[in-house]
Amino acid sequence: MSARGPWSSEAWSQQARSGRWPLPFAEIALYDLVVLAATGIYLAVFSSPSMTRVIYHGSYGPLRGVPVSRAYESALHISFDMPGGLLIRQVHQWAALIFVAAVCLQLLQLFFTGAFRRPRQLHWLIWVALLPLGMVEGWTGSILPDDMLSGGGLSLLQGVLESIPVVGTHLMLWVFGGAVPGQQIIPRMYWLHYAVLPAIMIGLLILARRLARQSGLTRPPAPSSSGRPDFGWRGRGWRGLVHDPAVITALAMFSATCGVLILLGTFAQIDPIWSIGPYQPGAATAGAVPDWYMGFLDGGLRIMPGWQVMIAGHPLALAVLVPALIVPGAFFTLLAAYPLLESWLTGDRRVHLRPARPRDAAIRTAAGVAGITFYGLLWAAAANDQIAYHFHLDLFTVTWVFRVAVFAGPVLAFAVTRWICLGLAGQEREEAEHGRETGRIVMNPDGGFSEITEPAPPRGQLTRR
C-alpha cells in the first residue's frame, strides 16, 4: 500500500485536523441512543405495564409469596429468569444516564465555542430540546418497575401537578386516571417511554445530523497540499467507504461506547429493584435519591422555604411551584432563547463558521460558568442531609448555606470568570505588541541587561513549548 494511502499516518493526521473529525459528545449521544433503542425493544417485549396485583412465585426467594404488581413481577422475571436479562436492564439504565450526560456536554461545547450562532440556531434548539426529553425519558423509565423508587417518583409528580394554580388538581386526576396511584399511570408511562419519546428523540437526532451536513461544522477542513480543502482519503465504491478514516473513526467510537456500557452493566450494579421492594402507598425508601440529572430538582425542593400564599381563597404552594416548575421552565427557556438574546444585545447577525475561543467572549463564558454554578449548587443541595450527617453539621445550617449560595455563587462565578477571560485576552494583546518572554537575559555593550523576546504565534495556532 502506498505511503500516502488511507492507513498512512498522513491520512490520519489530515483527518484529525479536518472539520470532519466528529464532535465526540454528539457521537456518543447518537450511539448511546442506538443502544437504548436496541435494549429498549427487548425490555418492552417482556415488560408488563400492568398494576394488577399478583402473588410472586419467581426465582427470587425473599419475595416469594409477596403480593406485587405485574409490572414489578415482570421486571424481576427479566432480571432473574431471562437469559442476559439483568445485563440488558443494567446496560439500558446506564445508557440512559450517559445519554443525558453526553447531551449536557454537547450543549456546553456548543455554548462556549459560540456554535449556536448563524447558521446553526436550529441545531442548537435541537440539542436544547433533547436535554429535557432525555430527562423525561429516563424518569418515565424509573416509574415502570413499580418499586419503591417508582412510588417516590409518582409522589413527586403528584405534588408538582397539584401545585399548578387553578387546573392542578384536575390535571393530576387526568394524568393518573383517577385517584393516586390508580391503575392507568404505568400503562401510560409505558407507551410514553417506549414509543412516543424515543420516536421524537430519534427524529431530532436525524434532523441534527442532516443540518450538520448541510451547514457544516464550525471548523473548516484543513487545506491540502494543493490548497483545496481535504476531507480525508476517498476511494471508489465500498472499498473507499471501508478505508475512509472518518468511517473507521465512527466505528471505533461506536464500539467504544458499546464496550463501556457493557462493562458498566456487568460490574456496576444500578437500581436493584429486588432489594428496594415493591411499591407500597404511603411508604418511602430511606436514603433514596433520584438519577443524577434530576438532582437539581430535588435540591431546589429541599432548600425552598415552605412558602404558601392565598389567592382568592385558594392556596398557592410556592414551595413546590417555584423549584419544580418556574425555575426549570425559566432555565430551559433562557437556554433556548440565548442565541436570539445574544444577537439582540450585541447586534451581531453575521454568519460564523469558525468556533470562538471562550476567552474571546468574556460575557458569554462568564454567563455559562454562572449557569453551571447555579445548577451545581442545586444538584449538591439534593444531598444536604448526607452532608449534614457525614460532616456532623446541623441540617438547618446546611440548608441555609445552600439558600444563600444559589444566589451568591453564580454572581461570584460570573465575576471571577470574566476577570480571567479579560486577563487572558489582555495578555495576548501585550504579547502581540511586545513579544513573548523567553526567560533569556543578555547584557548589552553598555553593561545593562535586557530580556530577549520572541514574536507571539498567530492567534489560535498551537506551538510546542
Query: What percent of the chain clears pLDDT 70, i.e. is strictly above it?
Result: 83
Q: How many CB atoms lie within 10 A of CB 390?
A: 9
- Residue 432 in grid coordinates: 502581540
**Which whole-number Å values give the CA distances from 186 to 141, 151, 183, 367, 464, in the listed order?**
10, 11, 7, 40, 59
For the chain, the C-alpha Rg in angstroms (whole number) is: 27
At residue 442, the pLDDT reads 75
The residue type at 289: V
Instruction: Say how far apart CA 378 and CA 296 lie, in whole Å.
Output: 5
Place of cell 390508580: 182
**Mean per-residue pLDDT over the chain, rounded:** 84
Q: What percent of the chain has pLDDT over 90?
A: 55
SS3 state at 187: helix
Cα–Cα distance for residue pair 23/219, rounded to 1 Å: 11
In this predicted structure, what is the pLDDT of residue 285?
64
**What pLDDT does residue 401 have?**
97
SS3 443: strand
Nearest alpha-carbon partner for 317 in 430, 101, 437, 169: 169
Give pLDDT tens digits for 94-120. Answer: 999 999 999 999 999 999 999 898 888
Q: The C-alpha cell of 463 is what?
A: 506551538
Identity of the amino acid at 8: S
Least confident of 2-11, 315-324, 447-456: 2-11
- Judged on CB neighbours under 10 Å (0-12, 13-18, 19+), 332 is middle
Q: Between 145 and 211, name the one with better pLDDT.
A: 145
Q: In angstroms, rounded to a whole number, what is the distance separating the alpha carbons of residues 418 and 213?
A: 34
Which positions ≥6 away from 104 have C-beta within 8 Å? 131, 293
Interval 21-34 mean pLDDT: 84
In angstroms, the CA 417 to CA 411 distance is 10
- Residue 278 burial (CB count, 10 A): 25
Alpha carbons 72 and 51: distance in angstroms, whole number: 8
Each residue of 404-417: pLDDT tens digit? 999 999 999 999 99
State how far the Cα of 441 lies from the Cα of 448, in Å rounded to an integer: 10
Strand-pairing partners, residue 311, are: 314
Cα gap 412→457, rounded to integer Å: 33
Count of CB atoms situated within 10 Å of the CB of 216: 15
